[in-house]
Amino acid sequence: MRSLIRQSVVLMVGLVAAWGNSIAAADEAPQSILSVYPIGEYTCVAAKLDVGAGTPVAGIEWFHNDGQVTFPEVLVLEAIDGSPPDLQDTAMVLWSAGASELSWGQLQFAQAVTSSTGAMWVVFVLPPESEISGLGSGGGPGIGVGPQPGMAPIQLSADGVDWTAFDDDFGLAVRPMLAAMRGQPAVLAEMAVSLPDGWKPPSGEEDQIPLDTVFLGAFPNPANPATEFRFSLARDSRVSLRVYNVRGRLVRTIVNEPLKAGSHAFLWSGIDDNDQGVASGVYYSRFVVDGRTFNGRVVLVK
């Protein structure tokens, strides 16, 4: 039985509702979903990840509530013991983070990073004027939550400036994806830039915050009858995005051309390069940019 917990900006915490879990148990799936209400323009939920000083981190995973909802921005920065997030020290901005309903989502960084303090904040900016109303599809923005240990300490903010700690007995279902690599990862503190006083999310101010190159995958997934591949580019780059079947044969070239820096989305309506419909089943995406390859999986249902 999963439950829904809503946290208001005046810190009224409660168990709002509970539903039977009709979805098969996922890997280490938490039993509750946390959200914040009301959700304003800059409402944030932050998770503190203890990764160890010098440990390379390749990305993050989080337990996502509603497959129809994406977080417009996810900010990554170093954490200092005893202090809430200071978004003036934002090191990376990841765009349009989503996943299938009640499942683990992933964001891969363009390069491995580390924290000189041994900890980092991952800050989810909630979609403005949305609301959590239930579990799963159509239920609204939320992240898995469970009892400590094994979960990430939580901070909440209505404006990205003033923060309040959530119950210390609980933590967010957010975890680092550790990297196996040679050489030195980038240090978050050395990537940080100063934001204007009174932090604002990067809408309209994208030149002030470094955008990361991230392949976000396909949404919705499963797809019926179409899906949208989403990614962001840190700089102008030539990209290749292709879809293959389970035998490794090319099905569809989604894009193969130079693109400008920023966020991008391309629709795939379940057709091949001959504009013929393909069968339902599992397909694999391959996104190549600047010598890096990001792989994904999409299920097509017709």
- State residue 192's pLDDT score: 62
Residues 73 and 184 in one domain: yes
CB neighbourhood size of 162 (10 A): 10
* Cis, bond preceding 147 (omega within 30 deg of 0): no
Amino acid at 7: Q
Give the number of residues written for the chain.
302
Residues 122 and 241 in one domain: no
Q: Which of 208, 242, 266 is the last residue of a domain?
A: 208
Mean pLDDT, all residues of the chain = 81
- State residue 273's pLDDT score: 95
**The domain spanning residue 276 has which CATH number?**
2.60.40.4070
Residues 151 and 77 in one domain: yes
Residues 227 and 202 in one domain: no
Q: Which of 155, 187, 208 is the last residue of a domain?
A: 208
Lowest mean pLDDT among 4-18, 204-218, 263-277: 4-18
Residues 204 and 247 in one domain: no
- Collapsed DSSP state (helix, strand, coil) of residue 280: coil
Lowest mean pLDDT among 15-29, 249-263, 279-293: 15-29
State the total domains in the chain. 2
Q: Is the pLDDT of residue 239 over 90?
A: yes
Residues 128 and 241 in one domain: no
Domain extent, residue 274, equals 216-300
Bridge-based pairing state of the strands 119-125 and 44-50: antiparallel
- State residue 90's pLDDT score: 87
Mean pLDDT value of segment 65-79: 91
Residues 25 and 89 in one domain: yes
pLDDT top residue among 184 and 15: 184
Residues 8 and 91 in one domain: yes
Q: Is the pLDDT of residue 78 over 60?
A: yes
pLDDT top residue among 216 and 264: 264
Q: Which of 208, 236, 253 is the last residue of a domain?
A: 208
Separation between Cα atoms, residue 11 and residue 64, nearest integer Å: 22
- Collapsed DSSP state (helix, strand, coil) of residue 205: coil
Q: Do the Cβ atoms of 28 and 1 come closer than 8 Å?
A: no
| 22-37 tens-digit pLDDT | 333 345 678 788 877 7
Residues 224 and 164 in one domain: no
Mean pLDDT value of segment 283-295: 88
User: What is the helix (H) or strand (E) element at residue 6, kind and residue range?
Assistant: strand 2-8
Maximum average pLDDT range among 188-197, 219-228, 246-255? 246-255
pLDDT top residue among 167 and 60: 60
| 171-218 tens-digit pLDDT | 899 999 998 766 788 899 888 654 444 455 444 343 334 455 777 778
Residues 22 and 121 in one domain: yes
- State residue 231's pLDDT score: 82
Percent helix, strand and coil across the chain, each to the nearest 5: 5, 50, 45
Q: Is the pLDDT of residue 5 over 70?
A: no
